[in-house]
Structure 1
């Protein structure tokens, strides 16, 4: 007979009279979680400069809802959830500062709500520590205020697993069912494929594990996934020739999904590379990656503590969902980006925090000060490393985005002003900064042909950007050429005609 997992009991607090001036325990627990979320928001505003320009992918997502520039080409793997999330700001304002503040506040609120779901499943001190561990990773702080979907998949994953366990423990908990559906919808709204990987262990339990087969949680999970992914599926048939064609195109853009061990690639990216493609750099120094090796050890200790305490499911399920969420990014693609593993880190945070609390509280009285000091010193060193990497990442990202803005200003000086078209090297973000359309004749973002581009260039200011050492594309060989730093900018004859007019 198959052994069944027992869900952890939901701890309900007894009702009692509370003397005047006393704060209820429930309110106090929420205050601790809220403090973690507020600190996370403040860290984003202080350490990730609100004025930092938009990155390449951010420009794609924002352009879909912004009036600042025409919508950029939207490739097959992308989903429109993050664009819609920022639409309340981006649809009427081009202020990057306002957008960053909005996302920082929203991401702090999301972390609070996701942690709040787990109250009663774990002690509040474990949840607060878990939130702090996740919220102090450089990759979490960097992507909290970014217009990118991965953080929101992580928040949805954390909330979904907590709601699933609550619904399993109490069949009358309707809020947990609604939360499960909403969390699954959030993940699928942001990245449908990631959502499927995250919910896979929960779906297996609902279908295959005796004692876990319940129609209502399954219906909530399926309805949430379907609602979140519906727009992506409809767009697949409207713009990509069907769901299968879109999945195939997405696989091609990601280098062809299949067996490919990318663990070393992820390690290389921990130095602060937002995208490691191709990933050929040396493995970072030990102090930058040590935490990555300690993480699974602490997670295993957390599982051992849970097994010993006969509350296995509450720890094993987030570990299982973390493992499946990481599979495509550790074993199926040929490049790396640290943000891909945000759901993995969020789900591991609670077992890891549980392990750390156990280390401190279970040690002998005589040794407890030593253990507490050692854990505090290790965490302080970890925090120092994370923020050193964060600072370097912010500096490099800011410099790159400022260069795009300078190039856009140069295009305006040369007469390439809206309505206009930009093609060539890094055309997509430069076009967004310049308020132009972007167009490519080849590559993953191919959206036009050379013939169509030439027809457009006859009446619309068009710029072809490339490296100085590279020759101009054949269709632009007769266009006036200008040098700007390391870039060569070819401008179409329509620019000169517009200037004369």
Structure 2
């Protein structure tokens, strides 16, 4: 006789009951998302764009003919390393933008593909589309800024950790998690720490993965630590100085500032502005509900703990920018948005499936069709808002670039040509466009004393810039104010030249 036995239970997994089979259409769909976003950036962002203030700081460190700008305590060298292959060869902004656009598109596909054995393909494609079409992601996709890279690195690192907890810790998981964490820390050390906190916590029982994350954390921070000992007297002193520059880290409710900045402010500091376009934050207000809904849907599908890991890591990455600093910039939250896209996509895919569910009664068919139309209209409106803000922010950026170029050209006409030194209002980006060194006597970029600036003026043409009809700085020369250009943002730009333009100076042609 045969003995009747109950079937053996499936093996218990740590995060989910089962892993979805990767879809063969996932890669082409992710590539399609990346190509569409590239097309949007080529249409709205890249044409006519120039380097912004922070970009000029990072790019000037990477070689070329422009002197390196002052590198303040909070900054890290990751972006400078990333742009070095192009910046060392050419000063073309278009070449740099194209290079970064291709890299970021590839990184977008790669970061979401890490999750292919954890989350269904349709959810991943939806998540990638939701994240990549947010205006901060579109605007910064080709920018020499670290935040998008932190976002994609955080997404990949969390995915590798989730794969290790689900399938076991193999070599790919160890290398992937360590490398992704190192990239985030190399770009922005603070983001790397907030990323590592939840990941280290969940891997306490996985010594090999814990060690891989710790090694990645230290490897990414190594250049920042070495520089801290070389120029600041140690990491603690540098952290203290970085905190001073950022206005002091402590309890500061910046939720409302982040909401207002979504209307198209790349930096809101101080954020004492009127809220002119509250419609741009509708999606932001819905985000917590969509995340919770996605977590519930994922739990019922056996992916609850996976999505909980992504959500918890996103919350950790968002905490400092919502509650610990007193200013806002939408790009700061890109790492959180990348991870939040997973539960939001879970919710929207389930919602779409519900709208498509066949009606049990013939009379309800029309209602089901209207649900599909309503969901599509909401998503289309959201996309239209993101594109509109992208266009508006890009136009403002292009206008600022034109202002910088106009002031730099006027300085050249007045004999301030390389090698030269520029100080004063917006000296950092204008010096980059003029091919000069920027030297400030005070503030975050303070790198020279008034006496030192006067000494530098004896060796190279030097100018002190004043915007908007402001008063003459105390350290400026006593000569007449020279009008340079009328700008859109700051009004008339003037300069005090060492010596006045009617006197000869070594390295400057007589006028």
Bin the TM-score by the shorter chain. Answer: over 0.9
Q: Indicate the residue corresponding to 1:71 in structure 2.
A: 68
Please list the CA deviations of residues 273-312 of structure 1 after superposition, one character each: whole Å capped at 9, or x if unmatched. Answer: 1110110112243321101011111000001112223322
User: 1:261 touches 1:331 (CA, 8 Å); kept in 2?
Assistant: yes
1:481 to partner: Cα distance: 2.1
**Equivalent of 2:496 in 486, 490, 495:** 490
1:494 to partner: Cα distance: 7.8
Task: Tell which deviates more after alignment, 103-112 or 164-173.
Answer: 164-173
Please list the CA deviations of residues 391-429 of structure 1 after superposition, one character each: whole Å capped at 9, or x if unmatched. Answer: 110111110111001100000000000000000000000
Which TM-score applies when normalising by structure 2? 0.91
**What secondary structure does 1:475 align onto?**
coil
For 1:220 and 1:394, locate their aligned partners in 2 and report how far apart those are by CA, in whole Å: 40
Q: Given the superposition, is the C-alpha separation of residues 461 and 9 from structure 1 closer, same or farther in structure 2, using an over 3 Å criterion?
A: farther
1:372 to partner: Cα distance: 2.3
1:44 to partner: Cα distance: 1.7
For 2:80 and 2:339, locate their aligned partners in 1 and report how far apart those are by CA, in whole Å: 25
Q: Indicate the residue corresponding to 2:347 in structure 1.
A: 355
Q: Indicate the residue corresponding to 1:297 in structure 2.
A: 289
User: 2:45 touches 2:394 (CA, 8 Å); kept in 1?
Assistant: yes
Q: Indicate the residue corresponding to 1:39 in structure 2.
A: 36
User: 1:68 touches 1:435 (CA, 8 Å); kept in 2?
Assistant: yes
Q: Are 1:375 and 2:375 an aligned pair?
A: yes
User: 2:20 touches 2:120 (CA, 8 Å); kept in 1?
Assistant: no
Q: Are 1:337 and 2:329 an aligned pair?
A: yes
For 1:5 and 1:450, locate their aligned partners in 2 and report how far apart those are by CA, in whole Å: 66
In the comparison of the two structures, how many residue pairs are matched?
Answer: 482
Which runs of structure 2 are paired with 1:395-414 in the superposition (5 Å)? 395-414=395-414
For 2:394 and 2:38, locate their aligned partners in 1 and report how far apart those are by CA, in whole Å: 16
For 2:235 and 2:178, locate their aligned partners in 1 and report how far apart those are by CA, in whole Å: 23
User: 1:58 touches 1:148 (CA, 8 Å); kept in 2?
Assistant: yes
User: 2:251 touches 2:323 (CA, 8 Å); kept in 1?
Assistant: yes
Which runs of structure 2 are paired with 1:74-473 in the superposition (5 Å)? 74-171=71-168, 173-207=170-204, 213-363=205-355, 364-366=357-359, 368-473=368-473
Which TM-score applies when normalising by structure 1? 0.93
For 1:163 and 1:368, locate their aligned partners in 2 and report how far apart those are by CA, in whole Å: 39
Please list the CA deviations of residues 318-354 of structure 1 after superposition, one character each: whole Å capped at 9, or x if unmatched. Answer: 1001101011100011110110000011000011001
Q: Given the superposition, is the C-alpha separation of residues 69 and 257 from structure 1 closer, same or farther in structure 2, using an over 3 Å criterion?
A: same
1:172 to partner: Cα distance: 5.1
Please list the CA deviations of residues 200-223 of structure 1 after superposition, one character each: whole Å capped at 9, or x if unmatched. Answer: 11111223xxxxx11111111111
User: 1:64 touches 1:71 (CA, 8 Å); kept in 2?
Assistant: yes
Q: Indicate the residue corresponding to 1:8 in structure 2.
A: 16
**What secondary structure does 2:203 align onto?**
helix
For 2:126 and 2:418, locate their aligned partners in 1 and report how far apart those are by CA, in whole Å: 50
RMSD of equivalent CA atoms: 1.7
1:458 to partner: Cα distance: 1.8
Q: Given the superposition, is the C-alpha separation of residues 98 and 9 from structure 1 closer, same or farther in structure 2, using an over 3 Å criterion?
A: farther
1:500 to partner: Cα distance: 4.0
User: 1:38 touches 1:108 (CA, 8 Å); kept in 2?
Assistant: yes
User: 2:20 touches 2:118 (CA, 8 Å); kept in 1?
Assistant: no
**What secondary structure does 1:292 align onto?**
helix
Q: Given the superposition, is the C-alpha separation of residues 365 and 468 from structure 1 closer, same or farther in structure 2, using an over 3 Å criterion?
A: closer
For 2:368 and 2:128, locate their aligned partners in 1 and report how far apart those are by CA, in whole Å: 24
1:43 to partner: Cα distance: 2.0
Q: Indicate the residue corresponding to 1:16 in structure 2.
A: none
1:171 to partner: Cα distance: 1.8
1:34 to partner: Cα distance: 1.7
User: 1:275 touches 1:336 (CA, 8 Å); kept in 2?
Assistant: yes
**What secondary structure does 1:497 align onto?**
coil
For 1:172 and 1:183, locate their aligned partners in 2 and report how far apart those are by CA, in whole Å: 16
For 2:469 and 2:50, locate their aligned partners in 1 and report how far apart those are by CA, in whole Å: 27
For 2:240 and 2:273, locate their aligned partners in 1 and report how far apart those are by CA, in whole Å: 29
1:476 to partner: Cα distance: 2.0
User: 1:264 touches 1:283 (CA, 8 Å); kept in 2?
Assistant: no
1:198 to partner: Cα distance: 1.5
Please list the CA deviations of residues 96-131 of structure 1 after superposition, one character each: whole Å capped at 9, or x if unmatched. Answer: 001101111110000000011000211101100100
For 1:96 and 1:411, locate their aligned partners in 2 and report how far apart those are by CA, in whole Å: 21
User: 1:182 touches 1:224 (CA, 8 Å); kept in 2?
Assistant: yes
Q: Given the superposition, is the C-alpha separation of residues 369 and 68 from structure 1 closer, same or farther in structure 2, using an over 3 Å criterion?
A: farther
**What secondary structure does 1:474 align onto?**
coil
